[in-house]
Structure 1
Amino acid sequence: MTNLTRRHFGAALTAGLAIPMLPDAVSARAQSGTSFYVAVGPDLTQYAMDGATIAPIEGSTVSAPAAIQYVWQHPARPIVYVASSNRFTSTSDDQHHATAFAMAPGTGKLSMIGQPTPLSSRPINITMDKTGRFLLVAYNGPSSLTAHPIAADGTVGAAIQQDGKLDTGVYAHQVRLLPSNRTALLVTRGNDAAGGKPEDPGALKTFSFDRGRLSNKQSVAPGDGFGFGPRHADFHPSKPWVYVTMERENQLQAFTIGPEDRISAVPAFITTTLAEPGKVRPGQVAGAIHVSRDGRFLYLSNRADGKTDANGRKVFVGGENSIAVFAINQKTGEPVLIQAVDTQGYHVRTFTMDEGGKVLLAASVAPMDVLSGSTVSTVPALLTAFSIGADGKLGFIGKRAVDTAKGPMFWCGFPPLN
């Protein structure tokens, strides 16, 4: 299976709904910690929540050089790093950058620091080490990984020349540092067989990390990586467990982290991410993943955007667009599905939870045409907010249509950004 950005990017640029700006009274509430950030195309906008009302803050939008792919916050300084690329918005495919933005105290308003740093190709994902001295960048095509020093002013330096060739697999999709900060994890998805081309295997690639220097360490690829399509990973905050969404298999797999940051060769647990795994339709894939800050629960997105012909238009073919909630057994690490909540939008590529673990915000990439009886209607791209209960389960709060005329809604995050 392939993702929306490669199949339907042109359709993703259809317009959503017009958005009024927040009045000053609600903007003031954003300063007390109710704000979050949303990336649409090249624009990063600060939003605020007031009960069920979700709206952008006037004058808060900043722009990257091209469509935003991912965002990460410095672990100790009020600086945001933005990865951007024009791979899907231009035939030239030549604008790829990492850009630093300062966050104003109290308001969170962003302003660019220095100039964007050029990168070699599309930066699909970024992260920072715990010291905040290095930014790591994952690239999907060609699959690769770079590490960059952070200057005293917060800007991103040129890639550090590595001593040897790094084994970066096929189609890197995420980079993270293990909790030790001594090992980098590159999640490489591979590709399904298509158009006469055989399957590309996936893997979890790890690298020793020492002050920006990377060296090959381990490749975890059950079944030699065939039928193994990892997309994103997250870690338990206190146990040696790493959880991985399998995009191509609609699975959640749990691995253990052993001595010297060695990841188990096979998963300890495998479970479906779907409420109805026997009804998989075209375009159904697993997505992002976040473990709660107390380690008791795990959340991941199920994305469906397959289409079929109806009344001369391409309409949604069906599938699960949900946030799946898992309870984590604190003795064994086993994740058990306890809830699957409809996001009310289509293809939730990104979601986030606030620092207090009380709110989850999901963002769908783009509008979707939907057939109801003989009528075709367009559901806009949505931000959907849920409360997080003490039992980990989600309750609907409210939603907001987002105009995606400038590009897909690829990322959202609460401060501290994740």
Structure 2
Amino acid sequence: MAGTSPSLAGGEEYFFAAVGDRLIRYALDADGRMREIAALAMPCNVQYACLDPARALLYVACSNGGVGSRGDRHRLALVAVDGAMRMLMEPIALPHRPIHAALDLAGHRLLIAYNLPAALSVHALDGKGRVDRCIGHWEGADLVGWFPHQILPVPGSDEVLLTCRGDDATAEGAENPGSLRVLRIEQDQARLVQVVSPRGGFGFGPRNCAFHPTAPWMYAVLERQNALAMFQVCKGRIAAQPACTVGMLQHPERIHRPQLAGALELHPNGRFAYAVNRSHAVVPDGPHMVWAGGENSIVVFRLDARTGEPVRIQTTPLHGLHARCIAIAQGGRLLVAALRQASQRRTDAGVEDCPAGFSILRIGHDGCLAPLDHVAVPVGTGQLFWAGSGQDGER
């Protein structure tokens, strides 16, 4: 949906995040100053949230499950963010742990993806944006693939894209293939209209996708391959093979697992892409547990204006572990990376604390990032699991 995040006086705008079941609203100004202004308890831990900026509504997907845990209590909450944050209706029960949510382009339906089990649900919204009813719920690998991680509306159509990461092979089982799946939702039926799965989806693990704002290109972060792939798009259909794939790691020869590619954002001007390298591996260092040496950074790509090819122009290190979410704010002038957990690292001066929180970076005219500030967020034994501004390409 078009629009910007709800704003405040003096050039500030709202920024949202969640620690456990605590939904937090911040004020963020153009100079990168951030302050907490409100918080609201959700039914259980926040997994993801989707902003409708036109109606100043936040759809909050919650669960007592987590990474690798299904949980047994799952809810969808609707929060008004036009003034004091407040619940607008009784939270709605969901069938599984929700992992991602998005609005369709018209703002008439809410789309929710689930990973365990792989599933998709679509919910009709009334004229005020309230959840009216569940249009349908679908499961089964033939339709929704393996490990859906994201759902997006396809620009220029009423179809949706389900980004399915798949799973690496383990001692317990073989690899599950990844795929990009385009579905059409008509009345109460979901129909698969396209599957993109290079090499049958083996060695292909897309986690997050983003459509270019003006050109027929789509970008996919390949979590399991630590790479960014670019696909041509023609008449709503994604090319069967990527036009190009670019590695994201500075030192792919010395990976400290888990080493994962993560969140993806395109700049509103369509000239740059930002993708995350994330790791949370730690090792003992005397009485401390310190970084194992994995790459935690944001990779900046310049997007060729003629071909769409991403060219890596900068890798900006993050001073903390595992940025699960990034968001572009202030009309494309700032990028905020949400570092999921508190950590420690070994430096020449000794062991340094690295608090969870927000790394705030200035976006230059050339697309490159310059650090401005780090705002620590106390998470205790929890995690800063979700954050967003409402200005990214998913809204």
Q: TM-score, normalised by structure 2?
A: 0.91
Q: 1:196 to 1:415 in 2, by over 3 A?
A: closer
Q: 1:75 to 1:38 in 2, by over 3 A?
A: closer
Map residues 308-327 of structure 1 onto 2, 5 A cutoff. 308-311=283-286, 313-327=288-302
Check whether the contact 1:149–1:212 (CA below 8 A) recurs between aligned residues. Answer: no
Map residues 80-95 of structure 1 onto 2, 5 A cutoff. 80-88=58-66, 93-95=71-73
Aligned to 1:182: 158
Ranges in structure 2 where 5+ consecutive residues have no aligned partner:
1-6
Q: 1:348 to 1:45 in 2, by over 3 A?
A: same
- Aligned match for 1:287, one of 240, 262, 271: 262
Aligned to 1:56: 36
* Greater RCO (CA < 8 Å, at least 6 residues apart): 1
Counterpart-to-counterpart distance in 2, 1:306 and 1:90 = 17
Check whether the contact 1:42–1:406 (CA below 8 A) recurs between aligned residues. Answer: no
1:92: Cα distance to partner?
8.6
- Aligned match for 1:139, one of 103, 111, 114: 114
Name the aligned partner's letter for residue 191 of structure 1.
D
Check whether the contact 2:76–2:94 (CA below 8 A) recurs between aligned residues. Answer: yes
Name the aligned partner's letter for residue 179 of structure 1.
P
Aligned to 1:101: 79
Deviations 1:269-318 (A, max 9, x none): 10001223333221111001011111100011110111223325543211
Counterpart-to-counterpart distance in 1, 2:179 and 2:70 = 30
Q: Identity rate of aligned residues, in percent?
A: 35
Check whether the contact 1:386–1:394 (CA below 8 A) recurs between aligned residues. Answer: yes
Counterpart-to-counterpart distance in 2, 1:52 and 1:137 = 31
- Aligned match for 2:135, one of 130, 142, 160: 160
Counterpart-to-counterpart distance in 2, 1:200 and 1:234 = 23
1:191 aligns with 2:167: yes
Q: Which one has a larger percent strand, Structure 1 or Structure 2? A: 2
1:67: Cα distance to partner?
1.1
- Aligned match for 1:148, one of 119, 123, 126: 123
Name the aligned partner's letter for residue 36 of structure 1.
F
Check whether the contact 1:386–1:396 (CA below 8 A) recurs between aligned residues. Answer: yes
Name the aligned partner's letter for residue 72 of structure 1.
C
Counterpart-to-counterpart distance in 1, 2:13 and 2:116 = 37
SS in 1 for 2:194: strand
Q: CA RMSD in A?
A: 2.4
Counterpart-to-counterpart distance in 2, 1:289 and 1:182 = 23
Counterpart-to-counterpart distance in 2, 1:287 and 1:348 = 8
Name the aligned partner's letter for residue 54 of structure 2.
A
- Aligned match for 1:79, one of 15, 36, 57: 57
Check whether the contact 1:117–1:158 (CA below 8 A) recurs between aligned residues. Answer: no
Name the aligned partner's letter for residue 42 of structure 2.
A
Check whether the contact 1:235–1:241 (CA below 8 A) recurs between aligned residues. Answer: yes
Counterpart-to-counterpart distance in 2, 1:409 and 1:212 = 36
Q: TM-score, normalised by structure 1?
A: 0.86
1:210: Cα distance to partner?
4.2
The farther-off stretch of 89-98 and 283-292 is: 89-98
Count of aligned residue pairs for this structure pair: 385
1:223 aligns with 2:202: no
- Aligned match for 2:24, one of 45, 58, 61: 45
Check whether the contact 2:111–2:121 (CA below 8 A) recurs between aligned residues. Answer: yes
1:36 aligns with 2:15: yes
1:162: Cα distance to partner?
6.3
Name the aligned partner's letter for residue 21 of structure 2.
P
Deviations 1:30-75 (A, max 9, x none): 6643331111111111112454543212xx1012211111111125
SS in 2 for 1:70: strand
Q: 1:415 to 1:270 in 2, by over 3 A?
A: closer
Counterpart-to-counterpart distance in 2, 1:308 and 1:110 = 41
SS in 1 for 2:341: coil
Aligned to 2:359: 384
Counterpart-to-counterpart distance in 2, 1:302 and 1:89 = 18
Check whether the contact 1:75–1:132 (CA below 8 A) recurs between aligned residues. Answer: no
Counterpart-to-counterpart distance in 2, 1:382 and 1:162 = 35
The farther-off stretch of 274-283 and 155-164 is: 155-164
1:237 aligns with 2:213: yes
Check whether the contact 1:288–1:351 (CA below 8 A) recurs between aligned residues. Answer: yes
Counterpart-to-counterpart distance in 2, 1:372 and 1:182 = 52
Aligned to 1:201: 177
Ranges in structure 1 where 5+ consecutive residues have no aligned partner:
1-27
The farther-off stretch of 204-213 and 318-327 is: 204-213
